[in-house]
Amino acid sequence: MLLAEVEYARPSTVEGAVRLLSSHAGARPLAGGQTLTNVMKARAAAPDVLVDLNDLEELRQISRTADGGLELGAMVTLSELIRSPDADARPILAEVAAQIADVQVRNRGTIGGNICSNDPTNHLPPVVAALGATMTIRGPDGERTVTAEEFFVGVYMTAVAPGELMTKLTVPAADGARDGFASIPIGRDGTCICNAAATVEDGQARIALGCVAAVPVVLSSTAEEDAVREAVRGADLDPPSDVHASDDYRRHLAEVVALRAVQQAAG
Amino acid sequence: MSETTVTPDQPITVEREETAPGFIGVNVPRKEDKRLVQGEGVFVDDVKRHGMAYVHFVRSPYAHAAISRIDVSKAMAREGVYGTLIGEEVAAETDPFFQIAPPPAGELKDYALAVGRVRHVGEPVVAVAAASRELARDAAELVEVDYEPLEPVLDPEHAADPGAPQLHDEAPSNTIWQGNFDYGDYDAALAEADKVVRIKRLHFHRFSSTPLETSGAVVEYNRGTGQWTIHSNNQFPGFAIIMMAPALKVGMDKLRFVSQDIGGGFGNKICTHVQLVAMCLLARKLNRAVNWTEWRTDQHTANSHGNERVFLDVEVPVKADGTMLGFKARAIDDCGAFTRYEPLGCIIWAQVTPGVYRWRNVRLDFTQVCTNKSPCGPNRGYSRMQHLWFTERVMDIVAQELGADPVEIRKRNYIRADEMPYETPNGCVYDSGDYARCLDEALELIDYGSIDEKRRDAESRGKLLGVGIGSTLDSGTNNFGQSTIVNPELQFSGNNEVATVKLDIFGEVVVTLGTTPQGQSHETTAAQVVADILKVSPEDVNVRAGHDSYWNSHAGFSGTYASQFAVTGLGAVKGATEMLAEEIKKIGSVVLGADSPDDVELEGGFVRRKDNPEAALPFMACGAIVNANNAVLPLEYRDITLNCRYVYVPPHQLPDKERKYGNLTLTYANQIHACVVEVDPETGVYEIVDYGAVDDCGVRINPLIVEGQVHGAAAQSIGAATHETFPYDEDGNLLTPNFYDYHVPHALDMPPLKTTSIESPSPFTPLGAKGMGEGGGAGISAVGSALQDALRGSGKPVVTNSSNPYHRVWELLRNPEESRALVEVEER
Amino acid sequence: MEPVRGQRITVEVNGERHERDVEARRLLVHFLRDDLDLTGTHVGCDTGNCGACTVILNGVAIKSCMLLAVQADGTSVETVEGLSPDGELHPLQEAFSSFHALQCGYCTPGMLMSAKHLLDHNPEPTEGEIRRAIQGNICRCTGYVNIVEAIASAAKGGRR
């Protein structure tokens, strides 16, 4: 539909953005807009101020870290990620980004946006949780880095407080670890009914289940089928019921996608 | 058995040679394309008027509630808000809409805005008009409405239960209509049966074709003349005017409907007369043009859905050799909160009572109820689709239960080509068709011969492969006399469509149509027919784009709906052009000194003497003589106008209301689809890996355009079979109010789609063509049938729903006993 | 810097510069349709799913219903109206007509812009790449069959 009245600013520095976000109650960062504009059209949220991050070149960088990991600016678009040769450090990121929606959405949608909106059906939260990635948050009081567990707090809620913004995602080097992702979307590249990401190293798997709880559910197990199934069942999931899946069906799918993610990782 | 082959009394046909094989059957490039590919189409929201107000509707958040208070004062206080409209005003200024239903339900009150009560989530309660779209939206939030919620009725199977909340005081037990249909001798068929298959419940779900362009209008009121000009994408202005004029208490000519381009209709844009009345009142009240553009969310929640229908206690007597003798069932149809086009759906299914099959003994108890859900409308395939799906499901389930070969049993039961024209048990006459041949071609398209190999290959990849068959009939060119079967007091029958063709002063051929195309290429196909008769090229034929009541090119049933343009629209074009051709020949004969019009002919834009082709008069000269130089004509030729208007009226008869018997449509195009699915048994997720569609719509005026319709209908039916569904929660909220949750097929969702066609000309139509395009049901049946086949090794579950998203397939896999419990075979 | 309720923006659309005052909340699609009278770009949904509003902004295909007009300040936008500047149809437009890749025409402008974006970056796409490129454009009329063929044909520079 149509947005309510809102004020708008487009700072050219991260400091400027933080200043705007922290000095205006009801200010929200505008990244790719592929989620926020729709939320505002439905008037499910009505921020007073939109702080447009699209001029912040500092947040658009992709680089390798010294130890072979990956640093991705929060404003890197999904298309930029897919195209980036550096992203090869952890190929699963680009592979999953390529499954999100469509090319128009990927051209504007950002890594930061997908992670910070923390819609339980989003693709990147389970991926970054499984990879053991960390998120850097900058606010008026400075910068801090948190783990995925600390970052994802609740449905649509993250550790990014009002007045702050996520600046980058740091992904550890693969170092022999291999990653996998499996999902059951509605139609090709549609909304996920259930998804899971996994990182396997030396026969040990870290699995992150999406779509089944407010935040990604992170499990550890060995990479054998029985162990993975056991781990998922042991998580005592209480997934939501909706038009696409009952809680029972989602619970069942969680086990399937977890296993497939691990199997893809284990190779 | 009674004689079923019928010879028409007066075939209204034209031998193919009479219209020379010039442009019929040719893929003439579309006239519509040039403007549309340049973004220069005129869709309703493209229409702008100075000082125009934008309208936003305040809509009910409750499925069922009494309205206790409305306060628009805060909205009115906002700068830029021009005015509002509430139900009280509507009730004072308009009469409730005419109802098709007989009493008592026919007494129910339906107004342009909710009056005193709301009956579905999204029902418009207040209209707010403001200077911009955003302001109207903002002001709407300032309107205060107090509701007293009432218990909603959401389950059609229990809507008529004693004690259920009543939606309309005038419709006791929430029942809009009930009727018993009894054809042949069902009891004798039952006695004769070797087996009886019983199916407890088959369910056809709510969904709709969700055209990409939502409904809308720009309405202006002329205070001097009292006339409204309604630019809208309503696709059936004939019906809209009949409904709106009495409501607004004005003569029909006070409502001028104008449209140029419409972004898809599929029946979804037939019932917008309701919102249009609100717009008319606002335009008059505010003395400015008003724009309403429906939001996607509103289209899903509060425009029109396809009917939900459930078939209970189905009983099918069968012979040992697989011949099915008939069926008995109890059908409950849910029309939603208001009737509007209903209860016509209670008879329209009867156009195809036996589907494509030869069973003669049918007993159907049909009830339509109202519920607190979105009103329904004639969604693509209207009412036939639900019934055809039912017949297909029965065929498929009986075949499985009897262990019969699905192809053989269909061929055994298909109506045969040599039986055409075929009179069905209730007197409809299928004009032509060869279903067995279409089936063979469909199976060829999916390489049915190598299915076993494909099955093994799928198995090696851990998948279950299934093949399914589905069919559909596109019954077209309605006989509105069928409405008298539903309500004997109605005075509707027959059908009509209008066209005008004229020769202008400079020899230009100009055509107007009464239809409202939404992509069906009417301008192009009309030009083909005209070009054929006048012996010019389609490029020389100017067809006015769209629809306008001012052209006087419309009649009571004008519009674009119900698969009929090739018959009614083109029938009118043919008639008008033949009149024009005769007039041109008359002018030509007198000017060229020939003895009679039979001594001249038309060729290449000239009228010329047959005995001396050099003696020729260009069309331009004819136009000039009649319009500007007519004293050169003898007196007896001066009534020639070269401006011909023709009304095509199909040869319908009044049906027999008592027996519920008669021919309800003129033509019956058919499609047979076959599809192959692969199911992941671990998850219920499936993919359609191959798909073939064969269509037969008689003579195809423009084969490429026909094929395009088949593609589109197949895509919509695949969507409906898989993910498209309109489910509700226990409070009456629609769970799929947008394209995020209501997943329609995108480009990557489509299977390889192969098509071919055959042509069985209709003996009953001017061009041998049949209306086509609705075709939607075949895919729903084919996919369901393929899933049942894929799953048969997993406990033989039975597919009893038209909607089969992944979670349903998983349930069938996980718990086949649940669906098996719905089916029982009695051996006699 | 202070946030503003509206501002004057300059947008180049199809090579022509436009300067307008807009509210911050105005979506780009409504700016194009209502402020610039470029009604070729269409609105089909509320949730950014249908793609009828697709335009090319600074060389990138985007859905204009999910961008604010103020965000387009200083950018260069291509819409369907710019595909045939001198009245001569773009090869994609020709191909769409030849292959009957449009029926009602409502999705067509967005579809053409997505197709143009594809061919600008990938002149010889496979069928899969074509489908992927238009995955964000819903069509309810054609089933996409002829659309895919039309784009493939335009890519090869030929026509039926």
In DSSP notation, B725-754 reads ---B-TTS-BS--STTTS----GGGPPPEE
B683 chain-A contacts, CB cut-off 8 A: 184, 252-253, 256
Residue B465: phi and psi, rounded to 5, are -100, 140
Cα separation, A116 vs B358, whole angstroms: 61
Fold match flag (C6-83 vs C91-155): no
Instruction: Provide the 8-state DSSP code for B16.
Output: T
Tell me the pairing of strands B509-513 and A192-201: unpaired
- Tell me: pLDDT of B11 over 80: no
Burial category of C129 from C-beta neighbours within 10 Å (exposed 0-12, middle 13-18, buried 19 and up): middle
Output the six-digit token pair for B650.
């199909």
Q: DSSP letters along B629-659, please?
A: -GGGS-GGGTT--SEEEEEE-------BTTT
The pLDDT score that the predictor gives to residue C158 is: 53
Q: Angle A247-266/A225-234 helices, nearest 10 degrees?
A: 140
- Tell me: pLDDT of B2 over 50: no
Burial category of B581 from C-beta neighbours within 10 Å (exposed 0-12, middle 13-18, buried 19 and up): buried
- Are B486 and B346 within 8 A, CB to CB? yes
pLDDT band per the 50, 70, 90 thresholds, residue B221: very high
Tell me the pairing of strands A49-52 and A7-9: parallel
Distance from CA of A103 to the nearest CA of C (A): 6
User: C89–B37: do the CB atoms touch at under 8 Å?
Assistant: yes
The pLDDT score that the predictor gives to residue B538 is: 93
User: Cα dist. A196→A98, A184, A254, B167 in Å?
Assistant: 16, 9, 7, 46
What ranges do the domains of chain B cover?
44-150+209-302, 178-206+307-373+384-481+654-827, 496-648
Q: Is the peptide bond before B104 cis (omega within 30 degrees of 0)?
A: yes
- Tell me: pLDDT of B6 over 80: no
CA-nearest of B138, B127, B126 to B80 is B138
Distance from CA of B299 to the nearest CA of C (A): 10
Tell me the pairing of strands B665-679 and B509-513: unpaired
Distance from CA of C133 to the nearest CA of B (A): 9
B749 chain-A contacts, CB cut-off 8 A: 187-188
- Are B283 and B226 within 8 A, CB to CB? no
Output the six-digit token pair for B553.
């090119």
A189 chain-C contacts, CB cut-off 8 A: 135
Cα separation, A224 vs A75, whole angstroms: 37
C21 chain-A contacts, CB cut-off 8 A: none
Show which of residues 108-167 on chain A sit within 8 Å of chain C, judged by CB atoms: 108
3-state secondary structure (DSSP) of residue B285: helix
User: Cα dist. B11→A187, B458, B530, B650 in Å?
Assistant: 49, 52, 22, 11
Other beta carbons less than 10 A from residue A10's beta carbon: 23
pLDDT band per the 50, 70, 90 thresholds, residue B281: very high
The partner residue sitting opposite A256, judged by closest CB among B137, B682, B727, is B682
The pLDDT score that the predictor gives to residue B350 is: 97
Quick: pLDDT tens for B683-735. Answer: 999 999 999 999 999 999 889 999 999 999 999 999 999 999 999 999 999 99
Listed in sequence order, the residues at least 6 apart from C67 whose beta carbon sits closer than 8 Å to its beta carbon are A33, A37, A108, C27, C28, C57
- Tell me: pLDDT of B563 over 90: no
User: C106–B753: do the CB atoms touch at under 8 Å?
Assistant: no
**Does A261 reach chain B within 8 Å, measured CB to CB?**
no
Domains of chain A: residue spans and CATH: 7-52 (3.30.43.10), 60-171 (3.30.465.10), 181-266 (3.30.390.50)
Cα separation, B422 vs B663, whole angstroms: 11
Residue at B92: amino acid letter: A
Distance from CA of A57 to the nearest CA of C (A): 15
User: Cα dist. C106→A150, B34, B366 in Å?
Assistant: 46, 13, 38
**Does C31 reach chain B within 8 Å, measured CB to CB?**
no
The pLDDT score that the predictor gives to residue B776 is: 65
- Are B777 and B34 within 8 A, CB to CB? no
3-state secondary structure (DSSP) of residue B472: strand
CATH ID of B178-206+307-373+384-481+654-827, from 3.30.365.10, 3.50.80.10, 3.40.50.880, 3.40.605.10: 3.30.365.10
CA-nearest of A197, A207, A199, A203 to A229 is A207
- Tell me: pLDDT of B3 over 80: no
The pLDDT score that the predictor gives to residue B1 is: 24
User: C24–A54: do the CB atoms touch at under 8 Å?
Assistant: no
C24 chain-A contacts, CB cut-off 8 A: 5-8, 50
Task: Tell whether pTM > 0.90.
Answer: yes
State which fold the C91-155 domain adopts: DNA polymerase; domain 1 (1.10.150)
Show which of residues 156-195 on chain A sit within 8 Å of chain B, judged by CB atoms: 184, 186-191, 193
- Are A52 and A10 within 8 A, CB to CB? yes
B137 chain-A contacts, CB cut-off 8 A: 1-2
Cα separation, B671 vs B694, whole angstroms: 5
CA-nearest of A184, C13, C133 to B809 is A184
A190 chain-B contacts, CB cut-off 8 A: 743, 746
pLDDT band per the 50, 70, 90 thresholds, residue B559: confident
What average pLDDT does this structure show over B653-682? 96
- Chain A, chain B: beta-carbon pairs less than 8 Å apart: 57
The partner residue sitting opposite A1, judged by closest CB among B137, B736, B805, is B137
Compute the C-alpha angle A194/A199/A201, nearest 5°: 155
Cα separation, B409 vs B312, whole angstroms: 24
**Does A218 reach chain B within 8 Å, measured CB to CB?**
no
Q: B453-457, B534-538, B555-559, B605-609: lowest mean pLDDT where?
A: B555-559
The pLDDT score that the predictor gives to residue C30 is: 97
Residue at B18: amino acid letter: E
**Does C6 reach chain B within 8 Å, measured CB to CB?**
no
Other beta carbons less than 10 A from residue A238's beta carbon: 10
**Does C64 reach chain B within 8 Å, measured CB to CB?**
no
What ranges do the domains of chain C cover?
6-83, 91-155
User: C67–A7: do the CB atoms touch at under 8 Å?
Assistant: no
CA-nearest of C56, C73, C75, C52 to C6 is C73
CA B124 from centre of chain: 25
Interface test with B, best of C21, C43, C79, C103 (most B CBs within 10 A): C103
User: B46–C134: do the CB atoms touch at under 8 Å?
Assistant: no
Chains that touch C (3 or more CB pairs under 8 A): A, B
- Tell me: pLDDT of B23 over 90: no
What average pLDDT does this structure show over B736-740? 96
What average pLDDT does this structure show over B44-71? 98
- Tell me: pLDDT of B266 over 90: yes
Compute the C-alpha angle B769/B771/B776, nearest 5°: 135
Show which of residues 37-56 on chain A sit within 8 Å of chain C, judged by CB atoms: 37-38, 41-42, 49-52, 54
Cα separation, B660 vs B179, whole angstroms: 10
Give the CA radius of gyration of chain B: 28
The pLDDT score that the predictor gives to residue B518 is: 86
User: A2–C25: do the CB atoms touch at under 8 Å?
Assistant: yes
What average pLDDT does this structure show over B99-108? 96
The pLDDT score that the predictor gives to residue B18 is: 42
User: B212–C102: do the CB atoms touch at under 8 Å?
Assistant: no
The pLDDT score that the predictor gives to residue B190 is: 98
Nearest residue of A to residue B293, measured between CA atoms = A1
- Are A33 and A105 within 8 A, CB to CB? no
Output the six-digit token pair for B579.
């009149």
- Chain A, chain C: beta-carbon pairs less than 8 Å apart: 97
User: B134–A184: do the CB atoms touch at under 8 Å?
Assistant: no
Three-class secondary structure assignment of B307-364: CEEEEEEEEEEECCCCCECEEEEEEEEECCCCCCCCCCHHHHHHHHCCCCECCCEEEE
Domain C6-83 indexed as CATH 3.10.20.30 = yes
pLDDT band per the 50, 70, 90 thresholds, residue B15: very low
Other beta carbons less than 10 A from residue B613's beta carbon: 11
Quick: pLDDT tens for B133-192. Answer: 999 999 999 999 999 999 999 999 999 999 999 999 999 999 999 999 999 999 999 999
User: A38–C24: do the CB atoms touch at under 8 Å?
Assistant: no
Output the six-digit token pair for B577.
């052009």
pLDDT band per the 50, 70, 90 thresholds, residue B423: very high
What average pLDDT does this structure show over B795-820? 98
- Tell me: pLDDT of B13 over 50: no
C4 chain-A contacts, CB cut-off 8 A: 7-9
- Tell me: pLDDT of B229 over 60: yes
Q: Which residues of chain A carry a pLDDT beneath 50?
A: none
Kindly report the length of chain A.
267
CA-nearest of B510, B572, B567 to B536 is B510
Q: What are the beta bridge partners of residue B473?
A: B670
Residue B769: phi and psi, rounded to 5, are -85, 160
- Tell me: pLDDT of B9 over 70: no
Cα separation, B629 vs B6, whole angstroms: 52
Nearest residue of C to residue B717, measured between CA atoms = C143
Nearest residue of A to residue B735, measured between CA atoms = A243
Where b means 16+ CB within 10 Å and e means fewer, A138-157 reads bbeeeeeebebeebbeeeee
Q: Which residues of chain C carry a pLDDT beneath 70?
A: 158-160
- Are B302 and B336 within 8 A, CB to CB? no
Residue at B579: amino acid letter: M
Residue written as token pair 């002063």: B505
Cα separation, B395 vs B275, whole angstroms: 42
Quick: pLDDT tens for B287-322. Answer: 999 999 999 999 999 999 999 999 999 999 999 999
Give the CA radius of gyration of chain A: 18
Tell me the pairing of strands A142-147 and A134-139: antiparallel
Cα separation, B690 vs B792, whole angstroms: 19
Residue written as token pair 């700072």: A11
The partner residue sitting opposite A244, judged by closest CB among B137, B748, B807, is B807
State which fold the B44-150+209-302 domain adopts: Aldehyde Oxidoreductase; domain 3 (3.90.1170)
Residue written as token pair 């009572």: B353
Q: Could you list the beta-strand ranges (E) of chain A.
A: 7-9, 27-30, 49-52, 62-64, 70-73, 134-139, 142-147, 152-154, 157-158, 165-171, 178-185, 192-201, 204-210, 217-222
CATH ID of B496-648, from 3.30.365.10, 3.40.640.10, 3.10.20.310, 3.90.120.10: 3.30.365.10
Fold match flag (B44-150+209-302 vs B496-648): no
The pLDDT score that the predictor gives to residue B21 is: 54
Percentage of the residues of chain B whose pLDDT score is greater than 90 = 90
Distance from CA of A160 to the nearest CA of B (A): 27
Q: Given strand A134-139, what is the order of strands in its sheet?
A: A62-64, A70-73, A165-171, A134-139, A142-147
The partner residue sitting opposite B46, judged by closest CB among C39, C140, C142, is C39
Where b means 16+ CB within 10 Å and e means fewer, B373-409 reads bbbbbbbbbbbbbbbbbbbbbbbbbbbbbbebebbeb
The partner residue sitting opposite B739, judged by closest CB among C25, C47, C112, is C47
Instruction: Provide the 8-state DSSP code for B306.
Output: P
